[in-house]
Structure 1
Amino acid sequence: MKIKLSDYVRPLLLGALFLGAAAQAEVKPLNRVVAIVDNDVIMQSQLDARLREVQQTIAKRGSALPPQNVLSQQVLERLIVENIQLQIGERSGIRITDEELNQALTSIAQRNGMSLEQFRAALKQDGLSYADARDQVRREMIISRVRQRRVAERIQVSDQEVQNFLASDLGKLQLSEEFRLANILIPLPEGASPEAIQAADREVQALYQKLQQGADFAEMAIARSASETALEGGEMGWRKAAQLPPPFDAMVGALSVGEITEPMRTPGGFIMLKLLDKRGGGSQVREEVNVRHILIKPSEIRSEADSKRLAERLYQRIQAGEDFAELAKSFSEDPGSALNGGSLDWIDPGVLVPEFREVMANTASGEVSKPFKSPYGWHVLQVMGRRATDSSAEFREQQALNLLRNRKYDEELQAWLRQIRDEAYVEIKL
């Protein structure tokens, strides 16, 4: 069974860290720097490793490989942007503890229907090193948290935007179909000249014609797209129409599976979408969870270790019979729930951060979780109950808020990635 490390976090193509050692008698060329990125470097060995992993992924998909120099440029650009984000994480003091990493790997194993030991064995069978897998998951978690801090936290959606959305045709269709999409992006720099715009327009129209004549979309994306998902053949995953920026939100519903939109100008450049699959429609019943929690945040006067120890002491006091709500009122640093005894009331698990959602899902009704860490700090939670609910007005508003935030997040992420790439010192020596 092939293991998917990207089940836990937003997928970044696994760097081909998982290469077997060559025979010691083999003569190896000296490693060399292929790019300087701010205060770090990317080595030829890193590029070669990632190239091999990408080539294997493309081959398994059954797509043709683009020319080696084209693929090398795409992979190197991905490594550069990842490296910049990891350096931002380092400067911001983002650390992934061994306990968090173990929880993440356990979650990945469970998603694949395995115990941790079976997961190790499956990795070995696939020729992957468990230690290298841990390192890659750690890197992906750091990048995920960097994006949470730099992108997600600055996105605001007003109540009026939510109400306008619910009153719109798209809002009324929000519980309808979902679409699995792929994209190709031909970028334009901010303040592009008319000549640059015309050149990009000619390029994207030529690509569109090739696609209409039967060219493989994934191969074109790998070779030509500047999208973050280019090396995955442009695949974006499942989206609702409302999560897409105009005019694609109105166009995608009219597509048949396999069809491609005409190239459209957006702030980031020219984009084409391909509909890979569709699903859903009709009424939907969702699970809601009644949960309460205590949040302990590290601060200038309380270290990470001290925060963890306090959470553990509170957990022990609850286990000894002390009242959860009273402890939450006295100790919790979540201002939105502390005065209510830590209660988050009935909540859709989808609106919670993955770390909280995973622990909550594995905690039975009435039970209290052991202390765990999320991007916000250390938590102890108690599940009070679970229920299935249809889409009430309140639920529809929450879902509209999530959709609008996701739409803004996608746009903001692409803009932020371009910004940090433009601001970084990058010297390519390839």
Structure 2
Amino acid sequence: MKKLKCSLLILAVAGILSADVIDRVIAVVNDDAVTMYEYNQKRDTLKKQAAAAGQVISDEMVLNELVRDLVLKQQAKKYNIVVADSELKAAMLEVAKQNGIQTAEEFEKRLRAENVYDIYAEGIKKQLLMQHLFSMVLTVKEPSDEDAEEYFKTNKTSLDEAHVFWIFQNAPMQMSFSEKGKKRKLIDEAYRRVSAGGDFAAIAKELSDDPNTRDKGGDMGWLPMQRMAEFAPDFIARGKKAGFISDIKEDRSGFWFIKVTEVRKGADVAFRDVKTRIKNELYLKRRNDEFTTWLDRQMQRAVVKKMR
């Protein structure tokens, strides 16, 4: 009995010591604390993202990112900016629909199954805070038609586009092996028929799960090469040619493959067809650059004390 009590006491003390280490304050930013727990969470998230991109994140970079997040929240508080639950839910639903998921509840279920819901929601909330801050602290000049035309003339090669169609089978990570196997058979069937010369649009209407493109024969529209480099790097590697059919890909949403039916060079695109897109891109770049400069100034003014 004494041994049992002693063991329980050791466990209790160890738990207290562990909690002290986890909750230990490692930095103070304008009187707000950063704990070891927050640091560990941020470090794990950033290192996973860095590993996926073939990069390395140092401990100093993790702490700087935490300080940056805290300064952002402090500025939002200064301007009385609050992200309501309804606003966050609406934003999450928008992201869900972009991924072919029709309800916020289903999206949350999938993210929780991967144990990333809290991290994902925090990221969306941070973006919403930034959007509100944009309007409070920045006055961004709208790009003129002349600005857009000048960009068009000097960056035509970056305006190359590909007309992309895809077939998608919804198979989230939490799906059972047997159900996932059925989805794999369906995407394999679609791929076999397309590779044999079948009508892609007809096959997409029959076998694709994407509600946004299925009725259009899988038509995703014209995608810029920057997007293609992220979405289908093998298309870029193989010379960016029309008729390209990708291998079957798998991500956390399911299985898919694409076909590129046309490629148009920036030199062949009329300015009027891309003017709005260019102006939007120029505006976003100006806004982001100005916000980064503004936030850097707030970082420089912040009083940051690192604990040893």
> TM-score by structure 1 length?
0.39
Q: Is the 1:175–1:281 Cα contact (8 Å) retained in structure 2?
A: no
Q: Which structure 2 segments of 5+ residues have no match?
A: 1-10, 163-224, 229-235, 238-259
2:112 corresponding residue in structure 1: 124
More helix by share: 2
2:211 corresponding residue in structure 1: none
Which residue of 15, 18, 22 corresponds with 1:28?
18
1:426 corresponding residue in structure 2: 304
Which residue of 21, 30, 41 corresponds with 1:38?
30
Q: For residues 207-242 of structure 1, what are the alpha-carbon distances to aligned partners after superposition, in whole Å with 9 as ceiling and x for unaligned?
A: xxxxxxxxxxxxxxxxxxxxxxxxxxxxxx9379xx
CA pair 120-146 structure 1, distance change in 2 beyond 3 A? same
Q: Is the 2:27–2:304 Cα contact (8 Å) retained in structure 1?
A: yes
Aligned counterparts, 1:145-184, within 5 A: 145-151=132-138, 153-166=139-152, 168-170=153-155, 172-173=156-157, 175-176=159-160
Q: Is the 1:94–1:142 Cα contact (8 Å) retained in structure 2?
A: yes
Distance 1:91 1:62 in 2: 35
1:357 corresponding residue in structure 2: none
Other structure's SS at 2:159 match: coil
Aligned counterparts, 1:8-407, within 5 A: 26=15, 27-30=17-20, 31-59=23-51, 61=52, 63=54, 65=56, 71-114=58-101, 115-128=103-116, 130=117, 134-151=121-138, 153-166=139-152, 168-170=153-155, 172-173=156-157, 175-176=159-160, 238=226, 281-282=263-264, 394-407=272-285
Which residue of 261, 276, 286 corresponds with 1:408?
286
CA pair 177-409 structure 1, distance change in 2 beyond 3 A? farther
Q: Tell me the amino acid that sits aligned with residue 157 of structure 1.
A: P
Q: Tell me the amino acid that sits aligned with residue 140 of structure 2.
A: R
Which of the pair has more CA radius of gyration?
Answer: 2
How much has 1:76 moved relative to structure 2? Answer: 0.7
Distance 2:50 2:281 in 1: 31
Q: Is the 1:37–1:424 Cα contact (8 Å) retained in structure 2?
A: yes
Distance 1:43 1:162 in 2: 46
> TM-score by structure 2 length?
0.52
Q: Is the 1:82–1:143 Cα contact (8 Å) retained in structure 2?
A: no
Q: Tell me the amino acid that sits aligned with residue 121 of structure 1.
A: K
Distance 1:411 1:137 in 2: 20
1:247 corresponding residue in structure 2: none
How much has 1:399 moved relative to structure 2? Answer: 3.0
How much has 1:282 moved relative to structure 2? Answer: 0.9
Q: Is the 2:140–2:286 Cα contact (8 Å) retained in structure 1?
A: no
Q: For residues 4-27 of structure 1, what are the alpha-carbon distances to aligned partners after superposition, in whole Å with 9 as ceiling and x for unaligned?
A: xxxxxxxxxxxxxxxxxxx97745
Distance 2:276 2:118 in 1: 40
CA pair 43-238 structure 1, distance change in 2 beyond 3 A? farther
CA pair 393-83 structure 1, distance change in 2 beyond 3 A? same
Q: Tell me the amino acid that sits aligned with residue 123 of structure 1.
A: L
Distance 2:83 2:133 in 1: 12
Coordinate RMSD, CA, aligned: 3.8
CA pair 407-105 structure 1, distance change in 2 beyond 3 A? closer
Q: Is the 1:51–1:75 Cα contact (8 Å) retained in structure 2?
A: yes
Distance 1:423 1:65 in 2: 28
- Larger RCO (CA under 8 A, 6+ residues apart): 2
How much has 1:122 moved relative to structure 2? Answer: 1.9
Q: Is the 2:161–2:265 Cα contact (8 Å) retained in structure 1?
A: no
Q: Is the 1:86–1:143 Cα contact (8 Å) retained in structure 2?
A: no
How much has 1:47 moved relative to structure 2? Answer: 0.5
CA pair 87-415 structure 1, distance change in 2 beyond 3 A? same
Q: Which structure 1 segments of 5+ residues have no match?
A: 1-22, 179-236, 241-255, 258-278, 285-389
Other structure's SS at 1:145 match: helix
Distance 1:132 1:165 in 2: 37
